[in-house]
Structure 1
């Protein structure tokens, strides 16, 4: 398997005339999973080349719930307050696509470069993942 199939590059220049000035935006990756979702279960590393050591993680499928064993027999084995609370959990959209927040930025009067690299940490193949695009929304 070629190495490059485990890496996805996104390079875009966001021009000031297409966004509101002095506004904080979030960028969402719109996607559909491949038939074999086992390659999408691990968190994907996202490197922001605009930030020195800018690294975060996203999920393409919801992470599994970690069971928590309670001290009493009647306590729940799943503790929702201890679940992952990041905003990198994918959400189902009404148009049938999934989305996950991958980046945030502040607009100025200058163009804003977006240079993101998505890497599968287990070196698994990302082919079959369908990308609709990146959607920008004010925060």
Structure 2
């Protein structure tokens, strides 16, 4: 695994998928656009020992959760179906049980239809729930899939959640890997 930094800030990690040999990226929380990222009351940056990145975002208390991200598609393997994943942990989280998460990924500025999911692993039934436990102890939820045709373009991703006060979410970042 290769960690790519900008100054002292770790922005992303790169590795090849063991099965396919295709490119995988993990974008750190620091490299994402987080709606409350500059507000010290809502978001703090904390050190997590023995994790891929030095810091993760601790989203302490917020009304609006908004995460945006963009990557040049040429950084990925061509002619490959990819999926994007939100990587997080919930620490005595409140406010996530009843508010759905809006997920969208688009290539070249056109967004696919927004999908609504629940990312509290303890909620069953009402909403499509794709939360799974990772080997590193974090949780992940598949955001969306997209196909890289190999044409120069950008992949845009948005995660939004409004309504209800929410608290205590650790955000590690976004992972992009072959499906």
Question: Which residue is 2:98 aligned to?
Answer: 42
Taking CA–CA contacts closer than 8 Å with sequence separation of 6 or more, which of the two structures ends up with the larger relative contact order? 1
TM-score, normalised via structure 1 length: 0.66
> Between Structure 1 and Structure 2, which shows a larger proportion of strand residues?
2
RMSD of equivalent CA atoms: 2.8
Q: In structure 2, what is the equivalent of residue 130 of structure 1?
A: 170
- Structure with the largest fraction of helix: 1
Shift of 1:22: 1.8
Partners of 2:120 and 2:103 lie apart in 1 by 19
Runs of 4+ deviating beyond 3 Å:
63-66
Q: 2:120 aligns with which of 49, 61, 68?
A: 61
Which runs of 5 or more residues in structure 1 are unaligned?
67-82
Task: Pick closer, same or farther for the CA change 1:89–1:63 going to 2, 3 Å.
Answer: farther
Equivalent residue pairs, number: 115
Partner of 2:65: 8
Quote the residue 1:114 is aligned against.
156
The structure that has the greater radius of gyration is 1
Residue 131 (structure 1) shift: 0.7
2:111 corresponds to which residue? 51
Following superposition, the deviation at residue 103 of structure 1 comes to: 1.6
Q: Go from structure 1 to structure 2 and tell me whether the alpha carbon gap of 1:64 and 1:117 turns closer, same or farther (over 3 Å shift).
A: closer
Q: Is 1:28 aligned to residue 69 of structure 2?
A: no
